Structure 1
Amino acid sequence: MDLVRLLNWKVILEILILWIVIYRIFLFLKGTKAVYLLRGIIILVISLLLFQMFGLPVLTRILTYLFAFFLILIVIIFQPELREGLTRLGQRHIFHIELKKEDIEKSLREIVSGVGVLSRKKIGALIAIKREMGLKKFIESGLIVNAELSSELLQNIFYPSAPLHDGGVIVEGTKIVATSCLFPLSDNPGLGRTLGMRHRAAVGLSENTDALVIIVSEENGFISLAINGQLTRNLTPNDLFTILKGQLTKP
């Protein structure tokens, strides 16, 4: 009886570990064609565990071979998606210092206040808020300032005649880390031809990192936000604050 109980706990532990691994892989491949093949692998894994639990050695052996075949197939066919996923995993900080909720809200109010003014004045802006993933190469593409974050400073940076208004600003915690940064342009055909360089740069950075990227259009003053390659447009300052707070204060 003790052996049976131990075996059951082992099976449960295996299922839990596999589920966590598959879920993380799914998050990395979400939005790509590789996710459809991953669903097939999930079915294989569940079937394999069930066959092991019910003691069906022949079917277990067959599915084990199929599982190995699908893993090799993923590596061969979906190299770009896997490379991007591993890159994003490698960019995550092992030791991530969490800000207090009060500090997060204070920083967000400064950002949203500045964005609101820029929106009313129809001054273009591009602001990336760092989360867990490192933005070192993007920071190094601009001018490192490490200045205290404030609404006024953001407005001054993006003022059309200011020397630092081109490129994007990177914010980390309560600091403006760098200005005039270069972000990668998205080649997503679904964005349409009407979007300008700022919007494509915002989506591009959000595709490659977990940063939250704010855009203010200089044509109409509309506020947009890019998260994980998805662009939400025509936000009010209140909408922007609510979404940012929800993203940055997740439990």
Structure 2
Amino acid sequence: MGRIFDFLENYFGAFASFSTIRWIDIVEILLIAVFVYQFMLWIRNTRAYSLLKGILIVLVFTFIAYLLEMNTILWLVYNAGGYAITAILIIFQPELRKALEELGHKKIVSTLIPFDSNKKEETGRFSDRTVNEIVRASFEMGAVKTGALIVIEEDTILNEFIRTGINLDSLISSQLLINIFEHNTPLHDGAVIVRGDRIVAATCYLPLSDNLELNKNLGTRHRAGVGISEVSDSLTIIVSEETGRVSVANRGRLQVGVTKEELREILKVEQNNVKQEKLKNKRKFWKGLMKNEKKSDE
């Protein structure tokens, strides 16, 4: 019991040092709180949530063993601690990789300094013709309940998934898309990946989402569509083979049962140059800043 009283005395004695807290300490505490909150929001919808709860139970049990001076248990925990860290890294490897990918997609630096702004201006977005062809093909396939999975690449390059399929490099047309996803054809299984105005590859394999909030009635095609949108900034169009409904996945979110007009509007939003305009404004800002610096130097 003496260890319990020593712990409580040291814990509450720490409040006496509050007078020495600096403003930077408060900022640091707020940053840690925001990080922990965002981490819990992210991990809540993954399989790692159950594993995390198990780890917390083990930590609570170890803390109780420390307070009650259960030396044998503490010796076991101390000797297994090094292996436990390695085991945690292995167990959480998919989740850690996903978290780092999401952090990379934030583009914290590129929002301030547009290193690759010329890239999109050179290639441009897909054309109005591509929008019309994709919309027409999606709803014609939905009318006859032909399943389809169309991934539209944006800033994140999808070569990792393109390599799992068959290269096509074909101009987009509704007839070609319908023919690709026709039942019992060699290319109907898997996803089609679109880059600009061209179909880059077909029969591509996509990662399945482990989002626990997705409807259990959704099949593998929908989970694959959400999965690719979780690891990239792509837009995915899913045509259900069971119901014929057209759905859209983007940024890990699934919009089920969109209409032809809604799909066209979604594609128009992705097609337009909102991002390019922002980049142009930033370039103007930096150019103006450089000009002002040159004038001040003169």
TM-score normalized by the length of structure 2: 0.58
Secondary structure in 1 aligned to 2:256?
Answer: strand
For residue 137 of structure 2, the aligned residue among 109, 114, 124 is 114
Q: Partner amino acid for 1:208? A: V
> 1:88 and 2:105 equivalent?
yes
For residue 63 of structure 1, the aligned residue among 26, 29, 33 is 26
> 1:139 and 2:102 equivalent?
no
Secondary structure in 1 aligned to 2:213?
Answer: helix
Q: Residues 59 and 130 from structure 1, CA distance in 2 versus in 1: closer, same or farther, beyond 3 angstroms?
A: same
1:63-115 Cα deviation digits (max 9, x unpaired): 355467669979x998836413244368x9935324557x5221111111111
Q: Is the Cα–Cα contact under 8 Å of residues 122 and 218 in structure 1 kept in the other structure?
A: yes
Q: Partner amino acid for 1:206? A: S
Q: Partner amino acid for 2:23? A: T
Question: Could you say which residue in structure 1 is the equivalent of 2:210?
Answer: 187
Q: Mean alpha-carbon deviation: is it higher for 200-209 or for 62-71? A: 62-71
Question: Could you say which residue in structure 2 is the equivalent of 1:221?
Answer: 244
Q: Is the Cα–Cα contact under 8 Å of residues 214 and 223 in structure 1 kept in the other structure?
A: yes
Q: Is the Cα–Cα contact under 8 Å of residues 128 and 171 in structure 1 kept in the other structure?
A: yes
1:99-137 Cα deviation digits (max 9, x unpaired): 557x52211111111112111111000000011111010
Deviation at 1:168, TM superposition (A): 0.2
Q: Residues 150 and 187 from structure 1, CA distance in 2 versus in 1: closer, same or farther, beyond 3 angstroms?
A: same
Q: Partner amino acid for 2:234? A: A
Identical pairs, percent: 36
In angstroms, what is the RMSD of aligned CA positions? Answer: 2.9
Q: Residues 145 and 59 from structure 1, CA distance in 2 versus in 1: closer, same or farther, beyond 3 angstroms?
A: same
Q: Residues 174 and 71 from structure 1, CA distance in 2 versus in 1: closer, same or farther, beyond 3 angstroms?
A: same
Deviation at 1:189, TM superposition (A): 1.1
Q: Partner amino acid for 1:169? A: V
Q: Residues 175 and 60 from structure 1, CA distance in 2 versus in 1: closer, same or farther, beyond 3 angstroms?
A: same
Secondary structure in 2 aligned to 1:163?
Answer: coil
Cα separation, 2, equivalents of 1:183 and 1:165: 14
Q: Residues 63 and 146 from structure 1, CA distance in 2 versus in 1: closer, same or farther, beyond 3 angstroms?
A: same
Secondary structure in 1 aligned to 2:130?
Answer: helix
Secondary structure in 2 aligned to 1:215?
Answer: strand
1:120-179 Cα deviation digits (max 9, x unpaired): 111000000011111010111111111111111001100002100000000011100000
In structure 1, runs of 5+ residues without a counterpart are 1-56
Deviation at 1:192, TM superposition (A): 2.2
Q: Is the Cα–Cα contact under 8 Å of residues 207 and 229 in structure 1 kept in the other structure?
A: yes
Question: Could you say which residue in structure 1 is the equivalent of 2:171?
Answer: 148
In structure 2, runs of 5+ residues without a counterpart are 1-19, 44-94, 275-298
Cα separation, 2, equivalents of 1:248 and 1:187: 29
Cα separation, 2, equivalents of 1:64 and 1:230: 33
TM-score normalized by the length of structure 1: 0.68
Question: Which structure has the larger Rg?
Answer: 2
Q: Is the Cα–Cα contact under 8 Å of residues 102 and 231 in structure 2 kept in the other structure?
A: no
Cα separation, 2, equivalents of 1:72 and 1:112: 40
Cα separation, 2, equivalents of 1:242 and 1:71: 35
1:7-66 Cα deviation digits (max 9, x unpaired): xxxxxxxxxxxxxxxxxxxxxxxxxxxxxxxxxxxxxxxxxxxxxxxxxx9743433554
